[in-house]
Amino acid sequence: MYYSLFYRHQFIINDAVLLTSVGLIFSIFFIPLVLFLTDLVLPINHPLILSFIYIAFLLLPLLRAPLPFLALPPLRHSYILKIIRHPVFLSFALILTTHLVCLNQYSFLPGLDAYTWLLKYEVSLSSQIYDLSAGPNRILFSTLVAVFHQLSHAPFFSIFKYWFPLLSLLPLFPLWLIARTFKSPLHQLLLLLSPLASPALILDWETTRHHVVLLLFLYLSLGLLFTAHRYQQPILFHLTFLASFIGLLYHPLFLILIIFWLFSALMIHRPFINQHPLITISAAFLFFIVAHFLNITSLFTNIFIRLSAATSNFINFRWNLRYPAAFIGEGMSMGWPGLTGVLKYYGYYAGPLTLAILLTTFLFIYFFPAFRRRIFQVLCTPFLVPISSFLLILLFLAEILPRFAGIAYLPDRAWLLIGIPTIIFIPFLFNFTSSQRLQVLLLSLYSVALLISVTGTIYINHALAFSIPDYELTAAAWMKDNLPSNAHVFTSSSKNILRYYARVKLLWMDPRVITSDNSEAILSRVGEYHDIIDPTKTYIYYAVTDPRNPFVERQYVSSFTQARPPSLFPALTSHPDKFELVYSKLNLVYLWRIK
């Protein structure tokens, strides 16, 4: 496939930006798959071997012909000024600055899941380039992390903290495939800055998890499918189609993308399917084999169960018209009460720019029949059906399902992702109208929305710095240096802080027990684990939640996430014969040893 792509389709080699976008697809999806499959047969946990495989894949086109963009012009003063003023450079600088400001406001990882994977990979990826413990839908993410680690020798923490967030700069390549169709540099700059559409989208790059690859794929597929439609080049559609299959080894949500890509493929290749039924049946059989290996059948079962429940709720009028002020998600109350809460919800997850684009698109569809016919005609073409269909299903998950079916299946994450496919509307909006006044109005509206999004993100990110206060990090460092290596710590919170920074084993204890006046209740809880702990190396930890923590008002009733107010500890302080206070700081964090 790689040979065919570069040797029979010279238009890709002759377009530096398109070739780079294709190279990113191979770097993120195809090469990690090759590395994983190769390592199953012959271990390749060595930087030189990994480097050779990457170079062999990515530099193969140069064997055919040198790339014209490698012949750089002399760096004259006028040329440097031209580069600095270019929309790509300006957007690169603004996006990089935004992420660097966010990254440097705190030293820890902003998210619970990131530490879970960090702790896991520090152990499992020390001797191999994949981790199978999380199931088939996470394999390639571990391979990608291992490749970064092997090639750079960077610590896993640095990869999670800096490398993955800086992948947010890569969408500029596929976005330029769309932006370069504009004549106005301001319109180009606006589209290139669309990755700053919402605070949730910006900060999602900072929270290193598997969905970072999904975000990058959506941008790449958006640019490549737009180019495939513009030049009628099905090879780009096929490339993203295959990458979406490989994406199932990164994240289960790729399954939804596969369904839309498969539907488009049937539209594009209908004549071939009719003429070659045997090949079609063989391909379907192969698909079911792969589906079984990737556990897709259970994913389909989960989707069917949720749709059945949603249908029943809709028919029986079990609606929730108060959403998002009140709703249940993943078994927890996650509503945003009041008008202020609703505005915060949409402002954070949907984002000002995404809402502005959707609003103006709906207004254009309603007031301009020619625009309505044009946009429906284009978005229903086979090359763009995956994008338009994915946008519709995201809107369904974000607004229809929680309101009229009583099922809130990650609506906040759906709104976050909506910010990517809505980019496709920007070219239609600016190219449709020849009115200079209307174009200035659109540009002004979108620019203000971007400004609100970026400033809001910096404000929210500043608040996130208090989610793990300095006094807890200091306490964790003290525990790492002073506690035995096999110590057990009972706590009601701070799970990932203690697991990673203190390197201790944790056990749950209800905060009401810790702050009670009943010492026997505390010892009874400790006694439940007498067979796995050493009583002389057992501790109790309590830290007060910083009142500036933005999650104080959004408490989810689950382990290790409750807010802990300042408190007295009558049982622990009145029985020095049973509990010894070994660490305390500013009446904010405490550590007792059980005698």
Whether residue 449 sits in one domain with residue 524: no
Name the least confident of 61-75, 84-98, 116-130, 470-484.
61-75
Q: What is the mean pLDDT of residues 281-289?
A: 73
Whether residue 505 sits in one domain with residue 550: yes
Q: What is the mean pLDDT of residues 219-223?
A: 96
Residue written as token pair 């103006």: 360
Nearest to 141 by CA among 164, 109, 162: 164
Name the least confident of 19-23, 297-301, 347-351, 569-573.
297-301
The pLDDT of residue 115 is 87
The pLDDT of residue 5 is 53
161: DSSP letter: I
Whether residue 458 sits in one domain with residue 571: no
In whole angstroms, how far apart are CA 486 and each of 386, 499, 503, 535, 542?
Answer: 52, 12, 9, 11, 19
Is the Cα dihedral 76, 80, 85, 86 positive or negative? positive
pLDDT band at 59 (very low <50, low <70, confident <90, very high): low
- Measured between alpha carbons, how far is 578 from 571 in angstroms, rounded to an integer? 10
- Measured between alpha carbons, how far is 136 from 26 in angstroms, rounded to an integer? 20
Nearest to 20 by CA among 61, 75, 64: 61
Whether residue 479 sits in one domain with residue 433: no
Query: What are the tens digits of pLDDT across the range 354-393?
Result: 999 999 999 999 999 999 999 999 999 989 999 999 999 9
Q: What is the DSSP string of 517-583?
A: S-HHHHHHHHHTTTTTS-GGGEEEEEEPPPTT-TTTTS--SSTT-S-------HHHHS-TTTEEEEE
Is the Cα dihedral 451, 453, 457, 459 positive or negative? positive
Whether residue 429 sits in one domain with residue 523: no
Whether residue 478 sits in one domain with residue 459: no
Q: Which of the listed residues 428, 463, 498 is the one where a domain comes to its end?
A: 463
What are the structure tokens assigned to 209, written together?
């998890």
Domain enclosing residue 540, as ranges: 470-594
By CB neighbour count within 10 A (0-12 exposed, 13-18 middle, 19+ buried), where does 123 fall?
exposed
Mapped onto helix, strand or coil, the DSSP state of residue 329 is strand
Name the least confident of 5-9, 111-115, 152-156.
5-9
Q: What letters, b where the CB count within 10 A reaches 16 and e where it falls short, cover 210-240?
A: bbbbbbbbbbbbbbbbbbbbeeebebbbbbb
Name the least confident of 256-270, 410-424, 485-499.
256-270
Whether residue 430 sits in one domain with residue 379: yes
Whether residue 509 sits in one domain with residue 484: yes
Whether residue 424 sits in one domain with residue 477: no
Share of residues in the chain with pLDDT > 90 (%): 41
Mapped onto helix, strand or coil, the DSSP state of residue 44 is coil
Whether residue 398 sits in one domain with residue 376: yes
- Measured between alpha carbons, how far is 267 from 179 in angstroms, rounded to an integer? 28
Whether residue 483 sits in one domain with residue 415: no
Whether residue 502 sits in one domain with residue 417: no
- Measured between alpha carbons, how far is 295 from 418 in angstroms, rounded to an integer? 26
pLDDT band at 187 (very low <50, low <70, confident <90, very high): very high
Q: What letters, b where the CB count within 10 A reaches 16 and e where it falls short, cover 296-325?
A: beebeeeeeeeeeebeebbeeeeebeebbe
- Total domains in the chain come to 2
- Measured between alpha carbons, how far is 532 from 217 in angstroms, rounded to an integer? 45
- Measured between alpha carbons, how far is 79 from 460 in angstroms, rounded to an integer? 39
Is the per-residue pLDDT at 560 higher than 50?
no
Residues 6 or more apart from 255 whose CB is under 8 A from it? 248, 296, 299, 300
Is the per-residue pLDDT at 346 higher than 90?
yes
The pLDDT of residue 562 is 57
The pLDDT of residue 152 is 83
Q: Which of the listed residues 463, 484, 511 is the one where a domain comes to its end?
A: 463
Is the per-residue pLDDT at 79 higher than 90?
no
Q: Which of the listed residues 405, 437, 463 is the one where a domain comes to its end?
A: 463
Which is more confident, 468 or 556? 468
- Measured between alpha carbons, how far is 82 from 204 in angstroms, rounded to an integer? 33
pLDDT band at 77 (very low <50, low <70, confident <90, very high): low
- Helix or strand run (H / E) with residue 541: strand 538-543
pLDDT band at 557 (very low <50, low <70, confident <90, very high): very low
